[in-house]
Structure 1
Amino acid sequence: MGSDIRSIARKYLLDQVIVSVRNKVDTPVPSGVSGAGLSSKGKKASGLPGSKARFVFVVDDRALRVVSALVPLSVLQENGVTIVERLELAREPLPDVHAIYVLSGSPQSVRALCAESAAQYRRFHVFFLDPLPESIFSQIQKADAKLVKKIATLVELNLNVLVHSTHFISLGIPGGSIPAMYGGIASVAADTAQEQSRRLLSVCVLLAAAHTWTVRIDINSSHAKLVGAKFLQARTELMKKPATGGTTSYSAGCSRYPNATLLVLDRAADLVSMLVHEFSYEAMAYDLIPLRLEHPLGVYFRLPDDENNPSSPKSKSLTTGASRASPSATDLSKRDVRFGDEDNDKVMLRVRDMHIAEGVQVVNDEFRHFLDTNAAAKMRMQMGKVSSPDGNSKSDSSAGIKELTAAVRSLPEYADLIKRHAMHVNCFEQCFAAFKSRHLDATARIEQELSTGNDGADHRIHSTTMMKALEQILSSGILDDEAKMRIVLLALAVSRGNGGGCSVPSLLYFSHFSDTYNINEMLSQCAFREQSCFRTIKGFVKVLQSYKVGTCAVSRPKSALKWRRARKEARKKVESRRKLDESIDRPPFELSRYVPPLGEIILRCVDKTLPAEMYPEIKASSNSGTEGSCAAALLPIDPAPSVLSSLTDKKPVQRADSVLLVYIAGGASLSELRTVRELGAMRPSVSIVLATDLLLPPRYFLQACAAVEDGALASRIAERPCYSPDV
């Protein structure tokens, strides 16, 4: 396995769960139990190397999301798991089989565990993603005595995060924590910061020893200060805990990086990036087409009825303007295809960050290459070319046994790739259709001028010209309510100097746009169809006001001479950001000129030029604690013996010598994730990882802003897992 965060977390999960239970159990497969690689006659079956144990894997909804993000279910099956069961569903008793429970530690899951019948399985090996409070742990102690006697393992993993890829980690907090952070209730914001810092620490100790982490924060963010302080407090408590008897410190064994930096940022510092339309393939798909974001196994796209048939002659796009509501059913059908499969979809890895105009050609070229190289595809094409005189197709008699055998072996790959290709073709066609039907050319042009302060010819936009353009598009009647809101809120953020990062905000900020822009006048031009739009705008204003807007990069001097100098300096910094964009080798599309300021923040941090007065390093108030083992914090109940040494790569792997974990409290945008991946490729000497509460497409960001103003909506969002399309 590699040294990136996903490989490390995957190894940790397999080590602490599958392998530790395997070391305790070596059970023959009972007769009558079937599964991948199982013998139906009760013989011992081989699972992991040297193991003959087979298990039932029981998870709740949260654990299923965490495990599936790290380990494909097929890998679990290959490693001794017979079947994966849902905790909340009725299950067939298997009294001769050991069961592995991975649960979130929520009160509902603990009550369901305590309600299990002792005769359900032979032994119960229970792992919790979160540390258990004493009140919840006491419920397990008070459970049925027969059940407690059968609990052979009880471990806290402290790994309640979704590790989606090499460069991205989601804490999986519904609404991206926005309603809790900016709702105006100090105790709720403090509890949220506590949970954020605890989950961040669990990620940090996987990457490097706790004491090696340098913590920097955005000085203008009160919430970033709170998260940083609680992180240091939790780290100090962790280092004070002694190692559990006989247990090797896991952090000492997996400290991949000698240099580690945690940079804590606030979503409110840059709201512009959450609103601007992004035209890379993945971002457009999340923003414009009906993906199933809420499914626990990942993101899925549902093909039209005729797309599930591999023999379908061509792909047809869905109806333009199709409903964006996801299907209510949680079960997957044959028409559902995984979107953004990190492990299996190589085409997606190539095109996800490409501009949509370039990605289409790559998808078609990859498909042609597959048809030319896959044995089943070539055999199918040969069969289609050979026809009898009466017009009926028949097999090519010249096909040899070797060709037929290769074709049969390639059939699963053929069917899977046909479905993935149909998915990509449908997604691209729907994105193009949405671009046309929603008039995104006009919308994006306004957004680019607002966010950069320049037009397509790189000429500075005057505030009066910008106001006329805003009035024209908002009163034209071609935009829906969501598009109008995004433009109005974007203009409001720009007028306040938001989105500058360590550089500068839009040049419109220096053209007295804040004096010219009147949000009430703009709202009168919108004529919203839904009154709920005003709730979203009020929530957005609260988020905007929570941050010291305009002070992070430049202040507004009263002197005209100083003002001109500040504007001149701003133009130099904008040019510097443009050069950054060009160094990443992005195509020069007029409607994609905006660059998220996160990119410049990361590069300056990597190059050690990030201004210390704006992003200072913070330290714990007391360093009296000595470095201790992280095993006690990771596994405080009954830690399993560490078998990390058996999983360690024998050959040295060339890897980055430092890690930068950038945490954005309050969610991140698809454009920021793309920027992190591009910078990771530019700077291979540093492992750059983006962590955030949730990846928020614009629709869900606006929903979270509405929840800031609406407490009932905030409660409904908090009760549902991650994405809530039907709240």
Structure 2
Amino acid sequence: MDLMTPLIHEFTYQAMAHDLLPIKDGDKTTYRLKINEGTRDAEEKDMELAEKDKVWVENRHRHMKDTIDKLMGDFRRFLEKNPHFVNSDSNTTSLNAIKDMMAGLPQFQEMKETYSLHMNMAQACMDIFQNHKLNELSPIEQTMATGLDEDNRKPKNVLETVVRLLDDEVVTQSDRLRLIMMYLLYRDGVIPEDVKRLLAHASLPPKDAEIIANMELIGGRTRRGLKEPRRDNPPLFPQDPKAPVDEENYLSRFNPVLKHMLDNLCKGTLDQTVFPYVKPPLDPNAEALASHGSLRAAKPSWAGAGRRQVDNKQRIIVFMAGGATFSESRACYEVGAAANRDVFLVTSHMLTPQLFVRQVGDLSVDKRRLDLPMERPAPRAPAHLFERERPTPPPAMVPGRGPSPHAPPPGPGGLPNRPQPSRPGGPMPAPPTQAMAGMSLGGGSSTSINRPPAPPAAAANGGADYRHHSPSSSFSHSAPGAGGKPHKPEKEKKKRHFLGLKK
């Protein structure tokens, strides 16, 4: 595992800006800039660093020195095309002078804001580089990361240089912690007493000792016994001591392991015992043929005249578990451009040195306190969406009062209401038990229900009354017939069973 890359100071524009400046990297990557400084329209604005920003895309993988030269050169060319913006006494060789000149260009608002953003970011990075002694810190970091000094020789006096920088108050606490972690990885661990001495020199709090101890959980070795030998773990891609040293970029001698792996992959020299195939190719020379192309697959040039040529590049997909750094992103761009490949870097998130150190410290924290997305409960719909509406209760009846005028009318059917007292607090009326006791529902009783009087005869000349008489009645009405004789009552028919037998 490459543990040096997330800790070392990188001096390309994108990596250096994310390491030193307060850039917010969320849904959008933004940097807060004070525009129109020194005027009435001065305000702070969040400027987005996106793919549509051509200046950002062109310079983000350049070394900071080359980025500043490119920005100043582009601005000088703009002034040559627009000489009316230049005074005879103007100085176009410093960033501060160019920033002051940019404030006087209201006609080119978009271009002014873009160049002002990158001029301010570059100037802020260089101020931190000088004020925090990164020019002295970086050489020892490069020596420990590569295992060789500036002359490609075995380094000497590494501990003395580290202790001197730990005692310097100008070096920030975060840089001191990173320096100790790199030194312990370079030495493959030291005795526990030496770790305490280094922390004492750096004046770091005790919680930082836990961060150092957590490096053991991800493959780093920070502590070992006095007589315990160093592990024999040669690097996968050792540094070539005979390689020429670039004097201008001696602060960028270290390259991530990912870049060496991609270089060997494109050349076809990657060790298959260390990096085995998931599915071996059928033709061992397929990679070599893919890099040079095939004559059979080539189309005649006249067939594509006037059409846009599609680059048929080989694609390489790199997945980085646990996050990737901006220096590794730069390595993918550089290898892709040099080897004519499309290299895609896929990872969960981008790492800065501060984020990497914080995540190493979180390895010993209870995961319930970390609020990990995978540990959160599944989102549920609000409970009120599943509640049913309660029916409206009927209005309560108050004794002695009528129904409320706002109450709905009572529905049809049902039992009658219970009789209410005549006035509130008065006695309830007694039920008619005596009248109900003398009531007869059948025939043969002396007491019968009072019935309404029978209607008069249908005709005065002896017409018969054809009204229906119930057979269960105990009395009947007879009317004179045509001969003056009374009609006989009809005999009650005997009931029969369903088999036809008489009862």
One fold, TM greater than 0.5?
A: yes
Q: C-alpha displacement at 1:668, in angstroms?
A: 1.3
2:469 corresponds to which residue?
Answer: none
Match status 1:544 vs 2:209: no
Counterpart of 2:161 in structure 1: which amino acid?
A
1:683 corresponds to which residue?
Answer: 339
Q: 1:347 aligns with which of 49, 55, 75?
A: 55
Match status 1:366 vs 2:74: yes
SS in 1 for 2:370: helix
Q: C-alpha displacement at 1:349, in angstroms?
A: 2.5
1:533 corresponds to which residue?
Answer: 208
TM superposition outliers: structure 1 runs of 4+ over 6 Å: 308-312, 513-517
2:321 corresponds to which residue?
Answer: 665
Residues 404-441 of structure 1, C-alpha deviations (whole Å, 9 max, x = no match): xxxxxx988x2111011111111111111101121112
SS in 1 for 2:8: coil
Q: C-alpha displacement at 1:483, in angstroms?
A: 0.6
Distance 1:556 1:533 in 2: 25
Residues 519-556 of structure 1, C-alpha deviations (whole Å, 9 max, x = no match): 3432232221x44423432333322359xxxxxxxx95
Is the contact between residue 293 and residue 299 of structure 1 (CA under 8 Å) also seen in structure 2?
A: yes
Counterpart of 2:115 in structure 1: which amino acid?
H
Q: 1:422 aligns with which of 109, 116, 126?
A: 116
Q: C-alpha displacement at 1:651, in angstroms?
A: 4.5
User: In structure 2, do the counterparts of structure 1 residues 716 and 578 end up closer, same or farther at CA, with 3 Å as the change threshold?
Assistant: farther
2:489 corresponds to which residue?
Answer: none
Choose 1 or 2 for highest CA Rg: 2
Q: 1:450 aligns with which of 144, 148, 155?
A: 144
Q: C-alpha displacement at 1:357, in angstroms?
A: 1.8
Counterpart of 1:612 in structure 2: which amino acid?
Q
SS in 2 for 1:575: coil
Counterpart of 2:252 in structure 1: which amino acid?
S
User: What is the correspondence of 1:47-126 to structure 2 with a 5 Å cutoff?
Assistant: none
SS in 1 for 2:350: coil
1:76 corresponds to which residue?
Answer: none
Distance 2:242 2:18 in 1: 26
Q: C-alpha displacement at 1:445, in angstroms?
A: 1.7
Distance 1:571 1:706 in 2: 27
Q: C-alpha displacement at 1:666, in angstroms?
A: 1.0
Distance 1:371 1:309 in 2: 22
Q: 1:607 aligns with which of 250, 255, 267?
A: 267
Larger RCO (alpha carbons 8 Å, 6+ apart): 1
Residues 470-523 of structure 1, C-alpha deviations (whole Å, 9 max, x = no match): 222223333222111111111222233xxxxxxxxxxxxxxxx86899434322
Counterpart of 2:216 in structure 1: which amino acid?
V
1:338 corresponds to which residue?
Answer: 48
2:448 corresponds to which residue?
Answer: none
1:461 corresponds to which residue?
Answer: 155
Counterpart of 2:370 in structure 1: which amino acid?
S
SS in 1 for 2:239: helix
Is the contact between residue 15 and residue 326 of structure 2 (CA under 8 Å) also seen in structure 1?
A: yes
Is the contact between residue 185 and residue 220 of structure 2 (CA under 8 Å) also seen in structure 1?
A: no
- Which has a greater percent of strand? 1
User: In structure 2, do the counterparts of structure 1 residues 661 and 532 end up closer, same or farther at CA, with 3 Å as the change threshold?
Assistant: same
Is the contact between residue 347 and residue 366 of structure 1 (CA under 8 Å) also seen in structure 2?
A: no
Match status 1:519 vs 2:195: yes
- Which has a greater percent of helix? 1
User: What is the correspondence of 1:254-403 to structure 2 with a 5 Å cutoff?
Assistant: 269-294=1-26, 296=27, 298-307=28-37, 335-339=45-49, 341-343=50-52, 345-373=53-81, 381=85
Q: C-alpha displacement at 1:305, in angstroms?
A: 4.9
Distance 1:359 1:455 in 2: 26
Counterpart of 2:239 in structure 1: which amino acid?
V
Match status 1:575 vs 2:230: no
Q: 1:703 aligns with which of 358, 362, 367?
A: 358
Counterpart of 1:670 in structure 2: which amino acid?
F
Distance 1:299 1:365 in 2: 26
Is the contact between residue 448 and residue 594 of structure 1 (CA under 8 Å) also seen in structure 2?
A: yes
Distance 1:683 1:714 in 2: 46
Is the contact between residue 64 and residue 122 of structure 2 (CA under 8 Å) also seen in structure 1?
A: yes
Residues 655-676 of structure 1, C-alpha deviations (whole Å, 9 max, x = no match): 2432111111011111111111
Distance 1:572 1:536 in 2: 28
Residues 657-705 of structure 1, C-alpha deviations (whole Å, 9 max, x = no match): 3211111101111111111111111011x21111122111111111211
Q: 1:618 aligns with which of 278, 283, 304?
A: 278
Q: C-alpha displacement at 1:358, in angstroms?
A: 2.1
Residues 123-163 of structure 1, C-alpha deviations (whole Å, 9 max, x = no match): xxxxxxxxxxxxxxxxxxxxxxxxxxxxxxxxxxxxxxxxx
Distance 1:616 1:442 in 2: 41
Distance 1:515 1:441 in 2: 30
User: In structure 2, do the counterparts of structure 1 residues 370 and 714 end up closer, same or farther at CA, with 3 Å as the change threshold?
Assistant: farther
Distance 1:577 1:710 in 2: 45
1:692 corresponds to which residue?
Answer: 347
Match status 1:655 vs 2:311: yes
Paired residues in the alignment total 326
Distance 1:607 1:652 in 2: 29
Distance 2:109 2:213 in 1: 49
Is the contact between residue 199 and residue 209 of structure 2 (CA under 8 Å) also seen in structure 1?
A: no
Distance 1:337 1:599 in 2: 31
Q: C-alpha displacement at 1:347, in angstroms?
A: 2.1
User: In structure 2, do the counterparts of structure 1 residues 714 and 418 end up closer, same or farther at CA, with 3 Å as the change threshold?
Assistant: farther
Q: C-alpha displacement at 1:457, in angstroms?
A: 3.1
SS in 2 for 1:540: helix
Distance 2:242 2:136 in 1: 24
Identity %: 21
Distance 1:531 1:556 in 2: 28
Is the contact between residue 481 and residue 533 of structure 1 (CA under 8 Å) also seen in structure 2?
A: no
User: In structure 2, do the counterparts of structure 1 residues 573 and 291 end up closer, same or farther at CA, with 3 Å as the change threshold?
Assistant: closer
Residues 323-352 of structure 1, C-alpha deviations (whole Å, 9 max, x = no match): xxxxxxxxxx8722122x222x22223322
Distance 1:609 1:525 in 2: 45
1:489 corresponds to which residue?
Answer: 181
What 5-or-longer segments of structure 2 have no aligned partner? Answer: 89-104, 222-229, 281-305, 376-503
User: In structure 2, do the counterparts of structure 1 residues 572 and 687 end up closer, same or farther at CA, with 3 Å as the change threshold?
Assistant: closer
Given the two structures, how large is their TM-score scaled by the length of structure 1?
0.40
User: In structure 2, do the counterparts of structure 1 residues 461 and 571 end up closer, same or farther at CA, with 3 Å as the change threshold?
Assistant: farther
Counterpart of 2:363 in structure 1: which amino acid?
V
Distance 1:577 1:602 in 2: 21
User: In structure 2, do the counterparts of structure 1 residues 300 and 690 end up closer, same or farther at CA, with 3 Å as the change threshold?
Assistant: same
Is the contact between residue 308 and residue 419 of structure 1 (CA under 8 Å) also seen in structure 2?
A: no
